[in-house]
């Protein structure tokens, strides 16, 4: 009986080994070379573990469960070691090399943690290789875990791709000719495309559906997708038009009253444009709004040789008059207009004399007015001001009279674009001119204040 039992056990062992070889041969004939090699290694590992456990007297179901547990612990342990070696050793060496190299690509790869993402890929690839061997006696569990591991690997690969795209974006933004272009929009679109493709791949792996079948079935969802991604599509179209027509660049000062935006463009994304207002608040504007709505871009002013001043002093109408000899003598002492007043007065005297004008009435003939001399004084003052750009338009003009008097407008340009300096120059000019108005027997128009009304009442 004992010999018969031993013979039967030997035949069973031979049959099992033949089954293993038949499986491996089948893999070699039906699968790729790599898959066949994996199958042979898995079967060899299972056989070796069974033989080891049989040698210590463990048989049957106990052997199967213990083998699975031991292989699982071994696979997890090796995966952790691989992760640690990759993370702590290889990645550290790569980081040191990146710090010493002169190129910027590797620095940005380190900054965006591309190598760290790749380090997470290594242990899961090993686990994916080991699952069939570990759970060879539990095919359903093995199939589920293989799918789960494949999905995790796909997600990690997606993160690696997204971080590589971030690296490419950071490098391209530093290029002088691309610095003010909406690079962010294009890379955001690329990320959306990759995410969509990888979601399809994940669904394909999870439910064993061909990706082409998924894409075909999505045709019916096109209308819904257009509605869902309407803002993204409009933003992409808008960003292309902004870049093609050079309407907005990063760093441009824009004003968009509809959205309360008045500041510098700091970011152009696929769906939005971020504007940092001068009070340091951030206004987010839909990208397509720059195509559909009006806005003011101050780039032309910043690229020019000066910044414009357009401001008026309102003169009371009743203070405007012909200049008497006494007034001419008084303002004739002003250095900037002394020669002008003398030349103009001689010209007027000659004209009136040649034409036999009766000057008993001051209105007859030609006369100088205090507001006319004041306009000439402003012109001379601006031309002599070193902060004014005399190569650009410089004009002092009189606008239409209104209920607020006669506006005398300054239209000129400063040499600087700086906001603070510009405001200081303009304030200095009008400080001087407002103080100069009384010298010409003129008055500045003011709305009646409460104290004025009280004086009238008294």
Q: Between 77 and 107, whose confidence is greater?
A: 77
**Which one has a higher pLDDT value, 426 or 38?**
426
pLDDT at 246 over 90: no
Q: Give the pair of three-digit tokens for residue 239.
A: 């960003």
Q: How confident is the model at residue 308, as a pLDDT?
A: 92
Q: What confidence category does residue 59 fall into, taking pLDDT thresholds of 50, 70 and 90?
A: low
Residue 100's pLDDT is what? Answer: 73
Question: Which run of H or E residues covers position 314?
Answer: strand 307-315
Average pLDDT score over the chain: 80
pLDDT value, residue 7: 39
pLDDT number for residue 219: 64
From the list 260, 250, 298, the residue with the least C-alpha distance to 281 is 260
Residue 37 pLDDT? 43
Query: Does pLDDT of 424 surpass 80?
Result: yes
Sorted by where each starts, the structural domains of the chain and their CATH numbers stand as 2-174 (no CATH), 234-303 (2.30.30.60), 305-321+369-458 (3.30.70.100), 322-368 (no CATH)
Bigger pLDDT: 269 vs 59: 269
pLDDT interval class at 223 (50, 70, 90):
low
CA 386, 387, 393: angle at the middle one, nearest 5?
A: 100
Q: Can you tell me which residue has the tokens 């035949």?
A: 11
Whether pLDDT at 444 is above 50: yes
Of 393, 370, 364, 394, nearest to 443 (Cα)?
370
- Asked if pLDDT for residue 326 goes beyond 50, the answer is yes
pLDDT at site 222:
66
For residues 339-345, average pLDDT: 90
Position 426 confidence tier, pLDDT thresholds 50, 70, 90: very high
Alpha helix stretches (DSSP H) within 355-418: 370-384
Could you read off the pLDDT of 168-187 as tens digits, one per residue?
888 887 777 776 666 777 78
How far is residue 293's CA from residue 237's CA, in Å, rounded to a whole number? 15
Residue 391 has a CB neighbour count (10 Å cut-off) of 10
pLDDT band with cut points at 50, 70 and 90 for residue 454: confident
387 vs 52, more confident: 387
- Contacts made by residues 146-150, CB under 8 angstroms, sequence distance 24+: 147/205, 147/206, 149/124, 150/205
Which pLDDT band, with edges at 50, 70 and 90, does 43 fall under?
Answer: low
Highest mean pLDDT (candidates 158-162, 206-210, 228-232): 158-162
Angle at 423 between CA 417 and CA 429, to 5 degrees: 110
Question: Which of 51-55, 157-161, 167-171 has the lowest average pLDDT?
Answer: 51-55
């Amino acid at each position: 009986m004992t010999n018969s039992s031993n013979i039967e056990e030997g035949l069973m062992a031979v049959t099992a080994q033949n089954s293993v070889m038949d499986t491996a041969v089948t893999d070699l004939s039906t699968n790729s070379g790599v898959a066949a090699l994996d199958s042979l290694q898995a079967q060899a590992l299972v056989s070796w573990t069974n033989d080891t456990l049989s040698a210590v007297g463990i048989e049957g179901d106990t052997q199967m469960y213990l083998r699975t547990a031991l292989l699982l612990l071994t696979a997890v342990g090796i995966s952790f070691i691989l992760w640690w070696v990759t993370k702590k050793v290889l990645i550290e060496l790569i980081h040191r090399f990146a710090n010493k190299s002169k190129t910027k690509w590797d620095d940005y790869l380190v900054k965006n943690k591309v190598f760290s993402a790749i380090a997470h890929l290594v242990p899961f690839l090993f686990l994916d290789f080991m699952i069939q061997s570990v759970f060879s006696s539990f095919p359903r569990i093995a199939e589920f875990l293989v799918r789960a591991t494949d999905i995790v690997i796909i997600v990690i690969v997606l993160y690696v791709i997204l971080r590589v795209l971030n690296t490419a974006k950071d490098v391209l933004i530093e290029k002088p000719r691309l610095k003010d272009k909406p690079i962010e929009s294009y890379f955001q679109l690329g990320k959306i495309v990759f995410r969509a493709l990888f979601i399809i791949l994940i669904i394909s792996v999870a439910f064993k559906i061909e990706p082409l079948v998924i894409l075909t079935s999505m045709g019916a969802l096109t209308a819904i997708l257009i509605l869902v991604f309407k803002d993204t599509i409009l933003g992409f179209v808008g960003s292309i038009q902004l870049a093609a027509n050079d309407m907005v660049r990063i760093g441009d000062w824009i004003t968009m009253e509809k959205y309360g935006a008045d500041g510098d463009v700091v970011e152009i994304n696929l769906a939005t444009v971020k504007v940092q207002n001068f009070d340091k608040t951030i206004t987010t504007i839909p990208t397509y709004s720059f195509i559909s709505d009006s806005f003011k871009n101050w780039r032309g002013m910043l690229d020019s040789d000066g910044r414009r001043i357009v401001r008026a002093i309102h003169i009371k109408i009743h203070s405007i008059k012909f200049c008497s000899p006494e007034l001419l003598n008084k303002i004739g002492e002003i250095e900037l207009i002394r020669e002008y007043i003398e030349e103009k007065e001689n010209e007027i005297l000659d004209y009136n004399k040649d034409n036999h004008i009766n000057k008993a009435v001051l209105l007859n003939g030609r006369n100088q007015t205090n507001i006319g001399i004041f306009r000439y004084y402003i012109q001379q003052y601006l031309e002599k001001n070193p902060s004014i750009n005399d190569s650009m338009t410089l004009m002092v003009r009189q606008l239409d009279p209104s209920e607020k008097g006669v506006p005398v407008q300054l239209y000129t340009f400063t040499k600087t674009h700086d906001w603070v300096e510009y405001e200081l120059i303009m304030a200095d000019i009008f400080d001087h001119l407002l103080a100069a108005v009384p010298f010409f027997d003129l008055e500045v128009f003011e709305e009646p204040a409460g104290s004025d009304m009280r004086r009238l009442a008294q």
